[in-house]
Chains A and B, each alone.
Chain A
């Protein structure tokens, strides 16, 4: 790394700073300005609406459930993909990235095709008398789907870097597989895992298109925070929409700062 000397580097830096400021910083500031346009009192008042609180509560529940599921299975998948060799490993490895690029609308639509009235599992759904499509379970499926890659993608490189040897060392010292996992593997990947969990959480809380399609956005029943914003815009309750958006954005920043700290931390331990 070096000090920028001459006009070319300075110009390059200038362009980069300006681009990021206009593209990212300006809109962020705009929404804060919009939310507080009629003062802080109105801002807090609009958040204190039971409908808003219910929406946040549902968002949080879905996000936590998705985090739990994807942490458990994501760690397993990452370990298997790194430590084991088997036919089709490359295929599954590439498959993991798919939720990054599948449109959330299609994700929601998948749930309907599987669990809707004419879905593949319609008889099963009917027999067990559970509602999945247009209900919270369907929204959970969508949330798990869209946030699936994060834990896997963060844990895999860490596992690869640590290598097989610490686990082998534990085995030669007599530790069972479970003890090895708890005492050796887990502590090794904890920062990477936490990083993945943060991303999962942020992604899950912000999910919109998928839960819109899979849940149907029924007020008080399947309305998450993002869905509330969408509904509020429709009803021209701009301040309320902005306020919820600001809270979500603030949460995102918190996660972001947390991740930055984590990253520093992992860099130091390595």
Chain B
């Protein structure tokens, strides 16, 4: 009886719905899964051992290390500043707020290459600021890790703000007021009332910006150039391997980067779905 009812249900689903689903899934598979499969299979063609060999070369390791630590530093700064900016934008009224809010989306809209160019124009050795920092303080920005961090800060800034903002809007101001009437200080209120509610969004935003930073290319190639062992990040390393026709090196690094990106995306997806369930 149960089987029969299922068959009937399937029969009554119009063909149109089936074909739409087929189109959607084939499109996603062809556009996303197929290319991914190509890279992964090429990267793993020499087995895990081969992959390790290619990735453990000094230039590769240095590039990966550089990418990871600059991305980590950026994530730390942007998480704090992103939450702060989101809080200020949601909770307070002040002149120029609309402009500030629009400014946050600029990094999403501007091509990353142009971002890199902007930073070079601003902080390059020939410019006023860059020259000052270089000669007086001995800090290199362009072609050095600080430039990379600056570029990453710019391109990833919207992530945390834009994930935290809607959640913060949802949380009623009454909750903060309630905490205040219960005698909690502003800091305690933030720590005990707001932060727990915001945590999933903050973590999601931070992880996404970290993942995004690992793969960043356009701004970094301009700001940091392509100097192996010094300012070459993982993505730039992949480019240099492609240009020197070293497919194995390129594929190995690609697989490592993809694995990290995959993991992060699915972790974020998990956090968000758990949150949705909890709110439901």
| A interface residues, Cβ below 8 angstroms from B | 1-4, 8-9, 12-13, 15-17, 19-20, 23-28, 30-31, 33-34, 73, 76-77, 79-81, 84, 86, 90, 92-107, 109-114, 119-120, 144-145, 148, 177, 199, 202, 205-209, 212-213, 226, 229-230, 233, 241-242, 245, 248-249, 252-253, 255-257, 259-260
| B interface residues, Cβ below 8 angstroms from A | 14, 16-17, 20-21, 23-25, 27-28, 31-36, 38-39, 42, 81, 84-85, 87-94, 96, 100, 102-115, 117-119, 121-122, 127, 150, 153-154, 157, 173, 186, 208, 211-212, 214-218, 221-222, 234-236, 238-239, 242, 250-251, 254, 257-258, 261-262, 264-266, 268-269, 273
Q: What are 21 A-B residue pairs whose CB atoms fall within 8 Å in the complex?
A: A1-B93, A2-B173, A12-B84, A12-B88, A19-B85, A24-B107, A30-B122, A31-B117, A31-B118, A81-B24, A84-B20, A94-B266, A94-B269, A95-B28, A98-B36, A101-B214, A110-B38, A206-B111, A209-B218, A226-B111, A233-B222
* C-alpha spacing A148/B36, complex, angstroms: 15
For B258, the chain A residues whose CB sits under 8 A away are 102, 106
* C-alpha spacing A111/B31, complex, angstroms: 11
Give 10 closest A-B pairs by Cβ, nearest first: A206-B111, A103-B215, A110-B35, A27-B118, A209-B217, A252-B109, A101-B211, A80-B24, A30-B122, A208-B218
For A19, the chain B residues whose CB sits under 8 A away are 81, 84-85
A213 and B88 form a contact (CB under 8 A): no
For B222, the chain A residues whose CB sits under 8 A away are 230, 233
* C-alpha spacing A17/B186, complex, angstroms: 21
A101 and B208 form a contact (CB under 8 A): yes
Q: How far is the CB of A107 from chain B (nearest CB, A)?
A: 7
Closest A-chain residue to B211, C-beta based? Answer: A101
Q: How far is the CB of A16 from chain B (nearest CB, A)?
A: 5
A80 and B21 form a contact (CB under 8 A): yes
For B89, the chain A residues whose CB sits under 8 A away are 16
